Structure 1
C-alpha cells in the first residue's frame, strides 16, 4: 500500500501579502524612473537620463529579488499590473523632488515589511529585509544630494550634468550582499 504525503495548505501571512504588494511597488517605481529618464533624455540631458535609466534597473532588480525570495520560500509570486506613472513635468527640480519622495515612500514600505516580519516572528523574512533597509538609506541620501546639487546649480543644468559625470552617485556596482534576483540582476 503506497503512502502519499498530504499537501499542507499554506496560509499567507501579512508579511507575505505585503511582499507581494512590494513587487508591484518596485515595478511601479521602475516605470516612474523610466518616465523621468525619458524626460531628461528628450531634453538633451544625457547624464541625468542615464542616472535614472540606471535607477529604473535597480528598482526592477529589487522587485525580482523579492520574487526570488518568494519562490525560494515556496510562495507563488504574483506579477502584478503597475500603477499609472507621471509623465508630465516642467522642470528638473520637480523630477528630482518626485524621485526623492518616491524613495522616502519606498523606505516607509520597507520599514513596514521589516516590522511586520518581526511582529510575526518571521526571522528569515526579517533578515531578508535588512539589505533593503540599508539600500533605502543609500537611495534617500543619494536623491537628497542630487536635489541639493540641482538647487545649488540655480538652473544651470550643465553643472548638474558635470556633477553626475564627475561623481559616482547611487549604485556603486554589484553588491555581494544583495539578495539574488530571479533571472539574474540586469
Structure 2
C-alpha cells in the first residue's frame, strides 16, 4: 500500500466533499436557470462538472495507491437562495471551506512524508486559488450590478469574464 490508512480515510472524506460540492453547484445552477439567467446557470453547471472531476481524480489516486475506496454519505445541498448574491456567497463560502480541507490533506501528507500524495494534492492547492478567485470576482460583479441588474452580469459572462 502506497498510502497510509489515515490519509486514505481523509481523502475518502474529501471525495464525499467534492461530490457534495457538485450537487450544490447543480442546485445553484438550477436556481439561476429558474430565474432565466442562463449564463450564470451554465457557469455553475460547469463548476458542478469540475467538482465531480475533482472527486474522480481523488478516487483514482486512492485506488491506485491501494488505500481502499470508502465514499462517505454526501450531504444534501441547500435548495433555496433568497438572492443571486446569497447563491454566490454560498459558493464562495464552500470554496473557502474546501481550501481548508485541502490544506488539511496536504498537512497530513507532509507530516507523513508522503511525497506522492503531496504531488497530487499540490494540483488541488493551485486549483483552490483559481476557484476562490473566480467566486470572489463573480460575487463582486453581482454586488456591483445589484439584484435588479443581473442581466448585466449575464452580459459580463457572455464576454468571457469569470
TM-score, normalised via structure 2 length: 0.95
Question: Which of these residues, 130, 139, 143, is aligned with residue 151 of structure 1?
Answer: 143
Distance 1:134 1:12 in 2: 24
> Cα RMSD over matched residues?
1.5
1:74 is paired with a residue whose SS is: coil
Deviation at 1:108? 0.3
Pairing 1:100-115 to 2, within 5 Å after superposition: 100-115=92-107
Is 1:35 the equivalent of 2:27? yes
Deviation at 1:88? 1.1
- Shift of the 74–45 alpha-carbon distance from structure 1 to 2, 3 Å rule, reads same
Q: Give structure 1 regions of 4+ aligned residues with deviation exceeding 4 angstroms.
A: none
**Bigger radius of gyration:** 1
Contact 2:3 2:65 in 1 (8 A): no
2:72 is paired with a residue whose SS is: coil
Structure 2: tracts of 5 or more residues without a match: none
Q: Give the number of equivalent residue pairs.
A: 161
Partner of 1:24: 16
TM-score, normalised via structure 1 length: 0.83
- Shift of the 11–130 alpha-carbon distance from structure 1 to 2, 3 Å rule, reads closer
